[in-house]
């Protein structure tokens, strides 16, 4: 167990990410006290019942008053409203961070709402599952995953360093980068892949000559893995696309060009090109396994040879 990094930590939003942070904080003893706020009474009651927080506050403003670290764990589209509410109540010297999947918009829109004397260090853990809510979290979610911190220019390096130590205590590796660079990288590694999954699942279900039962029965042919990603929370993903529009559109344009290249190769029977492109893609998969970011076990380590796993898979 480590020495506490913060005395009081306030979680604003207690869903998958907020609850996983709580479990991982408790595992490592990173905070003396965890308090929190969620929008609904039901989530606040669940968070208290399963011990995610010691005190539940009905408003975000009340929750942050004594906190040395405040973590916004709400959808990206809700961050500005929450920041407007808590701004005047943040403790001098406190660190305000978040876990949102888009960073540029938060630096631009939340940054100006943070009072002098409070350090704003946005963050994004690259770890998740398709599950939501306070009961979906688990302590191991961040183990050996990356967390990206995007401190705006002029941030006190000591605050960034303290947050780095905190995330390392949660199990993550930490990298610091510019918010706009983060948004471009994540557009291709996370946002566009989710869009493709949402789209292919809907394309299949709109097909008139393939029945729903056939789509489900033969899903192990690849489709099933897209459906897991496509089961992700619609509110969270709506907010990601509305707030990372430019980078997503740029990556989608490149994706479309490459798709058309594949389409032409199929149309003209260019097997050599197809083979080369598939070999290149396979090398990328091997790189991810070598970097410890996924399992090499057959069928993604599913224990039962194909039926759905009970343990949430990581995105």
> Whole-number minimum distance, CB 272 to ligand NAP, in Å?
39
Among residues 56, 73, 106, 121, the one that binds ligand NAP under rule CB under 6 A: 73
Rule CB under 6 A: say whether 36 interacts with ligand NAP. Answer: no
**Contact indicator for 289, 296 with CB cutoff of 8 Å:** yes
Among residues 8, 22, 97, 132, the one that binds ligand NAP under rule CB under 6 A: 132
Among positive and negative, which fits the CA dihedral 301, 303, 15, 174?
Answer: negative
Number of residues that bind ligand NAP (CB under 6 A): 27
Rule CB under 6 A: say whether 244 interacts with ligand NAP. Answer: no
Residue with tokens 């003396």: 32
Cα three-residue angle 25-169-174, rounded to 5 degrees: 125
**Contact indicator for 138, 23 with CB cutoff of 8 Å:** yes
Interior/surface letters 112-151, b for 16+ CB within 10 angstroms, e for the rest: ebbeeebbbbbbbbbbbbbbbbbbbbbbebbeebbbbbbb
Q: How far apart are CA 211 and CA 213, in angstroms?
A: 5
Residue whose CB is less far from ligand NAP, 40 or 213: 40
Q: How far apart are CA 103 and CA 186, in angstroms?
A: 10
Rule CB under 6 A: say whether 61 interacts with ligand NAP. Answer: no
**Contact indicator for 79, 54 with CB cutoff of 8 Å:** no
> Whole-number minimum distance, CB 116 to ligand NAP, in Å?
25
Rule CB under 6 A: say whether 176 interacts with ligand NAP. Answer: no
DSSP string, 250-307: HHHHHHHHHHHHHHHHHHTT-HHHHHHHHHHHHHHHHHHHHTTSS--SGGGG-TTTTS
> Whole-number minimum distance, CB 263 to ligand NAP, in Å?
31
Give the number of C-alpha atoms closer than 13 A to the C-alpha of residue 59, restricted to the C-beta side.
10
Among residues 31, 147, 149, 236, the one that binds ligand NAP under rule CB under 6 A: 236
Residue whose CB is less far from ligand NAP, 63 or 94: 63
Residue with tokens 């980068």: 177
Rule CB under 6 A: say whether 122 interacts with ligand NAP. Answer: no
Binding segment for ligand NAP (CB under 6 A), chosen from 22-30, 73-81, 143-151, 171-179, is 73-81
> Whole-number minimum distance, CB 246 to ligand NAP, in Å?
18
Rule CB under 6 A: say whether 150 interacts with ligand NAP. Answer: no
> Whole-number minimum distance, CB 298 to ligand NAP, in Å?
25
> Whole-number minimum distance, CB 153 to ligand NAP, in Å?
23
x/- mask, ligand NAP, residues 77-116, rule CB under 6 A, reads: -x---x----------------xxx---------------
| Local structure of 5: helix, strand or coil | coil
> Whole-number minimum distance, CB 152 to ligand NAP, in Å?
18
Q: Which of 128, 153, 132, 131 is nearest to 142 (CA)?
A: 128
Residue whose CB is less far from ligand NAP, 177 or 260: 177
Number of H helices, E strands in the chain: 13, 9
x/- mask, ligand NAP, residues 6-35, rule CB under 6 A, reads: -------xxxxxx-----------------
**Interacting residues toward ligand NAP by CB under 6 A:** 13-18, 38-40, 43, 73-76, 78, 82, 99-101, 125, 128-129, 132-133, 233, 236, 315
């Amino acid at each position: 167990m480590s020495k506490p990094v913060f005395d009081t930590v306030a979680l604003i939003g207690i869903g998958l990410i907020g609850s996983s942070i709580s479990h991982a904080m408790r595992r490592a003893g990173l905070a003396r006290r965890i308090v929190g706020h969620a929008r609904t009474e039901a989530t606040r009651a669940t968070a208290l019942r399963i011990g995610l927080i010691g005190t539940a506050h009905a408003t975000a403003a009340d929750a942050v008053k004594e906190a040395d670290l405040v973590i916004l764990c709400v959808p990206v589209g809700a961050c500005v409203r929450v920041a407007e509410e808590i701004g005047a109540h943040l403790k001098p010297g406190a660190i305000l961070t978040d876990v949102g999947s888009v960073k540029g918009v938060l630096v631009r829109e939340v940054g100006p709402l943070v009072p002098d004397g409070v350090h704003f260090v946005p963050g994004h853990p690259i770890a998740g599952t398709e599950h939501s809510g306070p009961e979906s979290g688990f302590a191991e979610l961040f183990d050996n995953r990356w967390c990206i911190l995007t401190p705006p220019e002029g941030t006190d390096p000591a605050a960034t360093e303290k947050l780095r130590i905190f995330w390392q205590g949660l199990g993550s590796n930490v990298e610091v980068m510019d918010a706009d660079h983060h948004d471009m990288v994540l557009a291709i590694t996370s946002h566009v892949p989710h869009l493709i999954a949402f789209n292919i699942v809907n394309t299949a279900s709109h097909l008139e000559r393939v029945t729903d039962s056939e789509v489900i029965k033969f899903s192990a042919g690849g489709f099933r893995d897209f459906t897991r990603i496509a089961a992700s929370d619609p509110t969270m993903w709506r907010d990601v696309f509305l707030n990372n529009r430019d980078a997503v559109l740029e990556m989608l344009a490149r994706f479309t060009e490459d798709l058309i290249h594949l389409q032409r190769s199929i149309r003209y029977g260019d097997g050599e090109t197809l083979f080369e492109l598939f070999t290149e893609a396979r090398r990328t998969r091997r790189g991810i396994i070598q970097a410890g970011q996924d399992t090499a076990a057959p069928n993604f380590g599913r224990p039962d040879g194909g039926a759905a796993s009970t343990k949430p898979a990581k995105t």
